[in-house]
Structure formats: structure tokens, C-alpha cells
Chains A and B, each alone.
Chain A
């Protein structure tokens, strides 16, 4: 019997998933002293079927609350980074002088690890939601800015000439030609930034020692309390949060760009 196209597409990721689960089991049962002598619960790495052992209502509430903090930080951060990134790309596209003035500082910001900037931001702005968002924006906006600039600069000369001959204003050229033409590149940047926004929200959270913890701080609590199960669940929730952001951006890209752009 021939496999349907859908099945053929599905089985490679399922095979990798099976291999990962097998490896996880192998690792959990190969570690010395991984299981307590009494109730047999995992101490270091819980095997998949023990993940939810020890997850009481209070722990679940803490994970939900931390997920809300991190998700809202990542969402507001990504939206802000998108607006700022596109604006910076447009500004740099206005003139080579503006590009050469801004570009070195953007590179400097990009290559500086966010982990060393976060304590400075917390010290200056305090452990506020705004400070969390700022950390996320700093890590997420560069791919959008650089891809926007690349996309705007990629518009062909004949297309510019068509708009010049039609005596279009600068705004019409931007809105009707440059931004639509740059949208595939902008979405390519957004896909990278979506993952970075979640990373920024979680990593930045390590330094926010007051208020309700986000996923980053919660995972350190579970680590310090040697609660392997909740720690792994929190890690999985973080992974799914990143995946969710990616899926939303990818869905938007498919709706807006894919119908006319062959990728």
C-alpha cells in the first residue's frame, strides 16, 4: 500500500520524536542514583512517564502564573521590537549617512550578550514589567531591523522608476512599493525574533528577583529545590511557548506573503 503524502510528511518528525523519547528513557535509567530508594521517584532526570508526578495544584498554579508573565513579556516585547525594528530599517533606508551613523551601534548592541545588559537595566529601571519588555526588545529587534533594511534596499530600479514616473510621494513609495516588497524579508526576520523574544523574556527573568516569577526564575526555584519533575515541565512549557510564537508568526507569513511570494 502506498503511503499518502500526508503520512510521508508526518513520519520523519515522528521518528525523531520517538528517538528523543527513547534517548530520554535511556539517559534516565542509565544514570546512577537517579531514583530514590523509597518511592522510586526520579531525583535527577525523570523518565517521561514520571514527568507529572509531584505536580500538585499549587505547583501548577505557579507554572501557569509564570507562563502568563513570560508570555505577556515576550508578546509585548516582540510587538515593540517589530515596530521599532521596522522604523529603524526605514530610517536607515532614507539615507546612507543615517545608515552609517546607526549601523555600528546596532551591531554593538547585537553582539553584547543580553545577560550582561539585564542587571544594568534592572538597576536603572527597577524590576518592572517595562524593564522586562526592554530586555526582550533589545534581544529581538535586530533581525527585524536588518531584514527590513535589506528588504527595502532590494526593490529593483525599474520598479522605483515606475513610481518616479507616476510622481508618487515618498509616503506612497514606502507604503505601496517598498514595504510590500520588503515584507518577505521582514517576516524572515520576525521568525528569528519570535524565538529570541521568548529567550529574552526567560533569560531576563533570572535577574528579576522581586514580584511574581516568570518561567526563568521559576525553573531556578525548582532547580534549587531539586524538584526535577516540575523543572522539566517548566522547561517543556518554555519550549512550547517559543514554538507557539513561531507558529503564530509563520501563520501570519503564510497568510500575508505566501500567496504571491515563492519561497
Chain B
């Protein structure tokens, strides 16, 4: 299903998302300029870029929450999941009820609650959870709807490093189990390299794509990868690209 106004075309075969020559302006201010990218089935693509380069605007256009000024966004007919910077939970629903907001598949919800360590919290209210647990619940709620494409907008940005690393492994495990395509926006280069198959670098506003890096590591990754020379080298090259175009 195409979400943007100009087209109703489907993405190329084996792709969940295709963005072509996307541009957007807020009044006189150009935010995005000629952005083209695609996300294949089961692929995780990370976008890194300086603050205000239009990353969130790009993600909202991909979700259909915003009509871009120009260009085309093509998606499959299947549902899209969105994980926001904040957990966006319903404060008046307990954990289990929040997890079931977008899905009626009780068996799947139960399974996701258990594998994500939320089983013991199922009767709690959101205010009784830590920041990391809230974000985990937000992820579970999104995945319970079985989306074929998940858009993540700096979901771990407000968390401490240890919690962030735990949630990286959590997301990777759920991705391996459920199999979905993902487009993730982040400020953290190491997060992008650890989680993604490809890292796309955006320039200062108006945001455009200035670099693309394939991540060569095998899909099953563990924390020791973060301290390997290859990981550091790739992070360094991405950082250099980012600084050059900042």
C-alpha cells in the first residue's frame, strides 16, 4: 500500500519499503532533499545523522504519518509498526493490556511478554516500570501486531548504556524469531553498526543521503563484537563520513 499522495505503487519484489527522491519542506524550510533508499525483507537498515537533519521526518513519511512535499514512498500491503522515542504507553492500561492494544493474538502476546522478560510485570501499571522496561513493552506491543516493517525512531536514546545494550540484544533476538524488515533512526553509530545490515548516513539539513555502509558481520552478534577492531574501524569510517558532511 502506498502511503504518500503521489503514488500507489508497490515496492520492488522482496522489498518492504522503497523511498524515491523524497523531499519535504516545513513552510520555507527544506528538511529533506532527494532521499532514496529501500529496505528488503528481513533487513535492518539504520539511519544516522546530526540532529535536525530530518531523520524523524523521513520515518514519519515512511509510516504514512506525513505527506511528503515531493517524491514517492512505496510499501507492501502489510502493516507497519512504529516504535517512538518515548514508549507511548496507555497509562490507564496494565502491562498485559498495553501489549494487547494492537493485536488480538493472545498466544503471541503471551509469548512475547515471556521472552522479553515482561511476564512478571504483566499486572503492573506503566508508571511502575523503569524506562528500559517501558521501552521493551513498547517493542512487544509493536511486534504483537506482526508487522512486516518496523520503523524505530531513536527508541533507546533516553536509556543508560547497560540497558541500551540489553535492549539491542532483545531486539536482535526478536528480529531473528519474528523476521521483519526494520528502518531505525539513531544518533549512536555503535548502535547502528551492532543492529543493522546497512547503515545510511544523512547530511545536515536539508537531509540527504551522503554515505551508505554495508555491515559485514554475521547476523548473530554478541557484546564482544563491540570491542573488535573491525567494529571500531567501521564505526570510525561512519563517524568520519558524518563529520565531513555535518
List the interface of chain A (C-beta within 8 A of B). 156, 158-159, 161-162, 164-166, 176-177, 180-181, 183, 259-262
List the interface of chain B (C-beta within 8 A of A). 60, 63-65, 79-82, 84-86, 88, 90-93, 101-102, 125-127, 145
CB <8 Å contact, B127 and A180: no
Please, which residue of chain B has its CB at the minimum distance from the CB of A176? B90
Please, which residue of chain B has its CB at the minimum distance from the CB of A161? B65
CB <8 Å contact, B127 and A158: no
Chain A residues whose CB sits within 8 angstroms of the CB of B82 once the complex forms: 161-162, 165
What distance in Å separates the Cβ of A204 from its nearest Cβ neighbour in chain B?
36
CB <8 Å contact, A180 and B92: yes
What distance in Å separates the Cβ of B214 from its nearest Cβ neighbour in chain A?
30
What distance in Å separates the Cβ of B100 from its nearest Cβ neighbour in chain A?
12
Chain B residues whose CB sits within 8 angstroms of the CB of A164 once the complex forms: 65
CB <8 Å contact, A262 and B127: yes
Chain A residues whose CB sits within 8 angstroms of the CB of B88 once the complex forms: 156, 158-159, 161-162
CB <8 Å contact, B102 and A158: no
CB <8 Å contact, B91 and A181: yes
Chain B residues whose CB sits within 8 angstroms of the CB of A261 once the complex forms: 91-92, 127
What distance in Å separates the Cβ of A24 from its nearest Cβ neighbour in chain B?
44
CB <8 Å contact, A260 and B91: yes
What distance in Å separates the Cβ of A155 from its nearest Cβ neighbour in chain B?
10
CB <8 Å contact, A158 and B86: yes
A to B CB contacts below 8 Å, 11 in the list: A161-B84, A161-B88, A162-B88, A165-B63, A165-B80, A165-B82, A166-B102, A260-B92, A260-B93, A260-B126, A260-B127
Chain A residues whose CB sits within 8 angstroms of the CB of B81 once the complex forms: 165
Tell me the bound Cα distance from A183 to B81 in angstroms: 28
Tell me the bound Cα distance from A149 to B85 in angstroms: 26
CB <8 Å contact, B86 and A156: yes
